[in-house]
Amino acid sequence: MTESTPVVLLVLALLLAGPVPALLARSSWPVRVPRAALVLWQAVALAAVLSALGAGASAGSLVVGHPSPPWWLLVAHGASLLLTVVVAARLLWSAHTLGTALRARRRRQRHVVDLVGRSDGRAPGAVVVDVAPPLAYCIPGVRSRLVVSAPALDSLAPAEVDAVLAHERAHARARHDLVLEGFGVLHNAFPRVVRSSVALESASGLVEMLADDAARRRSGAVPLARALARLAHAPVPAGALGSGAVTPAVRIRRLAPSSSGVPAWLVATAAYAVAVALVVVPTVAVAAPWLTALSRAAGLS
C-alpha cells in the first residue's frame, strides 16, 4: 500500500457517486437489457461506497503507521477519513430510517385498502377500490397487495387487465421494492453535494421494464402497450410500485420489435463484465495491497 492509496480510492468514490452515473443515465442501451443495466447500476453504487470506506481505512492505517507524517499527508488522508466516517454513518442511519418509514407507510396502505377494497372476478387476486382515477399498483412486502381501481377495470379490456395484473405480480414476486430500497440507502449515504439522484431514478425505470417483460411474456406486447397507454398518468402512492409509473412512453416504445444490429445478449454480457470489474478491480488493485501490508505488520509484531 502506497501513500496515494487513500487518494485513489477517494477520487474513485467521488467519480462513481456523481459523474459516472450521469454518463450512464444518458445511455440508450439499458432499455434493451434492463436486468443487466440494473446490475451495472448496483455495481456502480456499491463500488462508490466500498471505495469511500476503503479510502478512510487505508488513510488511517498509513497515518498511524508513519513514523513522522508530513502535514500534507495528514490533510489528504484526513479528508479521506472524514468522507469515510460520513458515508458510514449516513449509510447506517439511512438503512434504518428509510426501511422503517417505508414499512410503516406500506402497513398503513395495506390496512386502508383491506378496509375499503373488495374483490372482483375481472381482477382475480387483486383488491378493487372505488376511486375516481383509473389506477393499478402493488403494495410490496411479505404480504403484498395488488390494487386496481374500478374505473381501470371498466376502461381496460380483459387481456389488458391480465397484462396489468401480471406486471404487478412481477413486482411482488421479484421484490423490486427491496432493490429500490437498496438504491435509496446507497444514495443517501453520500453527502448531497457529491451524490447524484440519477441512479435511483434510473433504477425505478428499470424495475418497471423488468415487470413489463414479465407481463409481455404472459399477455403479449399489444395488450400491455394498450394498458400502459391507458394508465400513463395513473397516480401511484408513495412507497408503492405501479404500471403507470416512470416514463410510460419509453416503456411502450421498447415493446416494439427491435432492429438493432447488436444482439441483446452481447450488450448484456458487456454490462455484466463491467459490473464485475467495477467491484473486483478496485478491490484487487487497491484494497488487496493494503490488506497485505496490514498482515505483514501484524506478523512482524
- DSSP, res 258: P
- Average pLDDT of every residue of the chain: 84
Q: What is the pLDDT of residues 171-224, one digit of tens each?
A: 999 999 999 998 888 877 777 766 667 888 889 899 999 999 999 999 999 999
pLDDT per residue as tens digits for the range 244-253: 556 778 888 8
Each residue's pLDDT tens digit, 67-76:
676 676 667 6
Average pLDDT over residues 100-112: 93
pLDDT reading at 59 higher than 80: no
Indicate whether 143 pLDDT > 60. Answer: yes
pLDDT category at 127 given cuts 50, 70, 90 is very high
3-state secondary structure at position 234? coil
Average pLDDT over residues 282-297: 63
Return the number of other C-beta atoms located less than 10 Å from residue 243's C-beta: 32
Beta carbons within 8 Å of 35's beta carbon, 6+ residues apart: 206, 210, 268
Dihedrals phi, psi of 128, to nearest 5 degrees: -100, 130
**pLDDT of 162 over the 90 cut:** yes
Which of 66 and 269 is assigned the larger pLDDT?
269
Q: Band the pLDDT of 263: cuts 50, 70, 90.
A: confident
Q: pTM, whole model, 2 decimals?
A: 0.84
Region 4-33: mean pLDDT is 83
Question: In which band, very low, low, confident or very high, does the pLDDT at 80 lie, cut at 50, 70 and 90?
Answer: low
Q: What is the pLDDT of residue 198?
A: 83
**pLDDT on residue 89:** 86
Distance, CA of 176 to chain centre: 9
Nearest CA-CA partner of 42 in 245, 276, 253: 276
